[in-house]
Structure 1
């Protein structure tokens, strides 16, 4: 019975493929895309409260805190900048660290520009919403229409909620008091790690993350605030260089093995001719 079940069905369609047809996967409904996008936007947008509290607690004014969320609008860079200020770091090193963390959004934009194919007049405004969450939701959709809906709903929901909760957090910072006592100073790194962890799927990505953590934490007591995160960025080219060296050696060894094999075949052929 098992063998009969495992055998291919008879070809009754005349196509020569056993009559098996692979139906196309149905496109995701607009309602499902909106539901997923709202879930991501609301969940992440509420963490703006921690950003506002931490920013105000580090010495930024209410106007500066709100302007940071409105104009920068990338949580990791905001937390890095505020964290460096809170630690007494130099404004230039703090801004440099936030800038390098935000550079990843430019690479997201390269992919999303092809996927969304938005009109040129809309692209400068859409660029403000190119972040981790909008990219993840857009790439998860099977169609361009779904990707556009996911990008728009996630971006709008997250932008509005993030800035609103940032304002509320900054206004309530005085009532909360010392953010360190509440542990809110760890909210930024916690949110960033929660976003980063699911992306570390390969050995190379985990190696880069691990070395970056070691460099950042190891140099924290030795260098001014904001500088360790810049040095930690060297983890990526370091790992890539090591991988390139290893793959080069492996490829060279394979080439030498293939060359030796071909030489052996030639010698065997020559010996066979001599015997004849």
Structure 2
């Protein structure tokens, strides 16, 4: 009986993953992604933003893809409003993450406004990979805390070191951050629809880059999702119609017999 009780104590809500394993996995993600803050800090400061502005972006925005999109558009001479709009649309995905995490984490109301700031790609991926609620909460908290602290620290160090580095574009730091996020995104593209959205977004973004002002191609790339979903919806409707027609024809043949 005591052995059974001890076994139940180490179980999480619906899983058996030890807390230490969850913490280790979460820290691995937090450290790996947090280090890319160096690239953002250097790129942002090298693009003309002050150290204070660069650090404020990481402290208040805290979503790397949006941050890189913003400073990249500004560095290319884009309109600040267009750059901000592109960054905003990239960050909208976090709102959908929040809807999913609200169910799996079920955090107290008093904690939700603070936790919302940590709803990003990495915390969502780690949380949803856990077998139960307790493990999901631990994964979310550890990933969010480690990534937030390290990302902001490396942002500061990168911004301060931008002058010593010189031309950040020559070092390729302007693409280091996006490369990290693409590496994290690639394994998540499991369905044909997801791959189609990603491929069309790349084609739109790169294809329109030479002809549209900086920041606008990002906005155009956001149209990939509704376009692919519309086409997929039409195909699904056509398949359903074909099945219904085949079923009616089959029933008619049976009646004739």
- Normalising by structure 1, we get a TM-score of 0.86
Q: Partners in 2 of 1:87 and 1:36 — Cα distance?
A: 37
Q: What CA distance in whole angstroms lies between the structure 1 residues aligned with 2:199 and 2:40?
A: 25
1:82-102 C-alpha deviation (Å, 9 max, x unpaired): 100111100011001100100
Alignment partner, residue 243 of structure 1: 232
2:44 to 27, 31, 55: 55
Q: How does 1:1-80 map to 2 (within 5 A)?
A: 27-80=16-69
Give the paired residue count: 244
Larger Rg: 1
Trace 1:86-101 onto structure 2 (pairs within 5 A).
86-101=75-90
**2:254 equivalent to 1:265:** yes
Give the secondary structure class of the aligned counterpart of 2:190. coil
Cα distance in 1, alignment partners of residues 179 and 153 from structure 2 = 21
Structure 2 residue 124 is matched with structure 1 residue 135: yes
C-alpha offsets along residues 87-134 of structure 1, whole Å, 9 cap, x if unaligned?
110001100110010011001100111111111000000000001111
- Aligned-residue RMSD, C-alpha: 1.0
How does the TM-score come out when normalised to structure 2?
Answer: 0.93
Which stretches in structure 1 are left out of the alignment for 5+ residues? 1-24, 269-276
Equivalence for 1:183: 172
**4+ residue runs of structure 1 moved beyond 2 angstroms?**
none
Q: In 2, distance between residues paired with 1:63 and 1:110? A: 32
Using the alignment, how far apart are the partners of 1:199 and 1:134 within structure 2?
A: 14
Q: Which has the higher contact order (CA 8 A, sep 6+)?
A: 2
